[in-house]
Amino acid sequence: MLFDLKYGWRKWRGQRGIWAVLIVSLCLFCSLIGFVTNLLWLLSSDRPLWVSQKSPLVTIANQDFNANLQPTSEFDIALLKQLSVVKSVASIAIQTATVSVNTKEVPGLRIGFYSDTLLPVLGLPKPFTQQGFEAKNVILSSQFWHQHANSGDISLLSMHYLNQALPIAGVAPTSMDKIGNLQIDLWLPDSYLLLDVPQMFADNPTLYINSKTDRYGFALLQQTVPIAQLQQAYSTLKKQTPRPQGGFIDSQFTSWLIDGVELKPVERDMLHKQAWILLILIACFGFIVFSGIVSAYLQHGIVRQSEMQLKLALGGDKKQLIIQLFNENIPAFLALIIVAPLLGYGIGQYVSQIPVYLSYFDDGLSFNLGLWTAAVAISITLYWLCSQIPMLGIMTTQFSRGRHGQISKTQKRMGQLTLIAQLTVIISVIILCLVLSVSEWKKYQKVSIPTDLYSYEPKVTSPLSLALTAEQIEGKWQVDGKSIALSSAMFTALGEQDLQYKTLNSPGATKPVNSLYVSSNFFELLGITTLAHTKLTATGLIINKTMAMQLADELGFNNWRDVKGTTLSVSGFYYQKQLTVQGIIEDQLHFGLNQSPTPVMYLHLSIFNPLFAHRIAPVFYSRTAIPELTASRINEWASLQSPHLTYAFDGSLAQQIVNTNSAGKLLFITSFAMAVMIGLLVIFTLYYRFHFAVKVQQLKLAILLAVGGQKNTLTLQIIKMNILLMYIAVLCSALLMFSVDEYTIDLLGMSMLQPILWCCAVIFCTLLIVVITFLATKRILRHSISRLLQG
- Per cent of the chain over pLDDT 90 is 17
The larger pLDDT score, comparing residue 216 to residue 437, is at 216
Amino acid at 580: T
Confidence check: pLDDT of 654 > 80: yes
The larger pLDDT score, comparing residue 364 to residue 449, is at 449
What is the model's pTM? Answer: 0.71
Confidence check: pLDDT of 557 > 80: yes
Q: Within 13 Å, how many C-alpha atoms sit on residue 559's CB side?
A: 6
Please say whether the beta carbons of 124 and 249 come within 8 A.
no
Q: Mean pLDDT, to the nearest integer, of 482-507? A: 81
Using pLDDT thresholds of 50, 70 and 90, give the confidence band for residue 402. very low
- Helical pair 698-706 and 711-748, crossing angle rounded to 10 deg: 140
Q: Mean pLDDT, to the nearest integer, of 32-51? A: 83
Phi, psi (degrees; rounded to nearest 5) at 278: -65, -40
DSSP 137: -
Most confident of 87-91, 279-283, 327-331, 731-735: 87-91
Please say whether the beta carbons of 70 and 253 come within 8 A.
yes
Per-residue pLDDT tens over the stretch 664-702: 677 677 777 777 777 777 777 777 777 766 776 767 777
Dihedral sign computed on CA atoms, order 234, 237, 238, 239: positive
Q: What is the pLDDT of residue 47?
A: 86
Amino acid at 220: L
Q: What is the pLDDT of residue 430?
A: 81
Report CA 121 to chain centroid distance, whole Å.
Answer: 30
Q: Mean pLDDT, to the nearest integer, of 213-232? A: 92
Amino acid at 742: E
**DSSP code string of 309-329:** HHHHHTT--HHHHHHHHHHHT
The conformational region for residue 480 under phi > 0 = left, psi -120 to 50 = alpha, else beta, is: left
Using pLDDT thresholds of 50, 70 and 90, give the confidence band for residue 75. very high
Please say whether the beta carbons of 501 and 510 come within 8 A.
yes
Segment holding 770, helix H or strand E: helix 755-781
Confidence check: pLDDT of 315 > 70: no
Q: Mean pLDDT, to the nearest integer, of 414-424? A: 79
> CA 700 to CA 213: how far, in whole Å?
82
Q: What is the pLDDT of residue 308?
A: 66
Q: Mean pLDDT, to the nearest integer, of 633-654? A: 86
The larger pLDDT score, comparing residue 778 to residue 222, is at 222
> CA 734 to CA 745: how far, in whole Å?
16
Burial class (CB in 10 A: 0-12, 13-18, 19+), 648: exposed
- For 768, the 3-state DSSP assignment is helix
User: Residue 96 forms beta bridges with which residues?
Assistant: 110
**DSSP code string of 188-233:** EEGGGGGGG--GGGTT-HHHHHHHSEEEEEEEEESS---HHHHHHH
Q: Mean pLDDT, to the nearest integer, of 545-554? A: 89
CA neighbor of 343 nearest in space, from 38, 28, 37: 28
Q: Mean pLDDT, to the nearest integer, of 490-506? A: 78
Q: What is the pLDDT of residue 291?
A: 77
Please say whether the beta carbons of 772 and 725 come within 8 A.
no
Report CA 572 to chain centroid distance, whole Å.
Answer: 35
Using pLDDT thresholds of 50, 70 and 90, give the confidence band for residue 721. confident
Using pLDDT thresholds of 50, 70 and 90, give the confidence band for residue 366. low
User: Residue 650 forms beta bridges with which residues?
Assistant: none
Per-residue pLDDT tens over the stretch 432-446: 778 877 777 777 788
- For 563, the 3-state DSSP assignment is helix
- Cβ neighbors of 272 (< 8 A, separation 6 or more) are 40, 43
Most confident of 47-51, 242-246, 385-389, 540-544: 540-544
CA neighbor of 371 nearest in space, from 353, 350, 352, 345: 345
Q: What is the pLDDT of residue 753?
A: 81
- Helical pair 16-43 and 265-313, crossing angle rounded to 10 deg: 140
How confident is the prediction for the chain on average, in pLDDT?
Answer: 81
- Euclidean distance between the first and final Cα of the chain, in Å? 31
Strand segments, DSSP code E, in 536-624 are 540-544, 567-572, 575-585, 600-604, 619-623
Using pLDDT thresholds of 50, 70 and 90, give the confidence band for residue 220. very high
Segment holding 664, helix H or strand E: helix 662-696
Using pLDDT thresholds of 50, 70 and 90, give the confidence band for residue 400. very low
Q: What is the pLDDT of residue 65?
A: 65
Using pLDDT thresholds of 50, 70 and 90, give the confidence band for residue 265. confident
The larger pLDDT score, comparing residue 42 to residue 313, is at 42
Distances (CA, A) of 480 to 453, 468, 520, 633, 653: 15, 19, 20, 8, 20
- Helical pair 409-444 and 711-748, crossing angle rounded to 10 deg: 50
Using pLDDT thresholds of 50, 70 and 90, give the confidence band for residue 306. low
Dihedral sign computed on CA atoms, order 350, 354, 360, 363: positive
Confidence check: pLDDT of 405 > 60: no
CA neighbor of 698 nearest in space, from 684, 716, 718, 679: 718
Residue-level length of the chain: 791
Q: What is the pLDDT of residue 367?
A: 65
Please say whether the beta carbons of 695 and 301 come within 8 A.
no
Confidence check: pLDDT of 401 > 60: no
Please say whether the beta carbons of 383 and 282 come within 8 A.
no
- Per cent of the chain over pLDDT 70 is 84
Confidence check: pLDDT of 787 > 50: yes
Q: Mean pLDDT, to the nearest integer, of 274-301? A: 77
Confidence check: pLDDT of 322 > 80: no
Please say whether the beta carbons of 360 and 271 come within 8 A.
yes
The larger pLDDT score, comparing residue 758 to residue 609, is at 758
- Cβ neighbors of 737 (< 8 A, separation 6 or more) are 428, 431, 744, 752, 753
- Cβ neighbors of 459 (< 8 A, separation 6 or more) are 645, 646, 647, 648
Using pLDDT thresholds of 50, 70 and 90, give the confidence band for residue 4. low
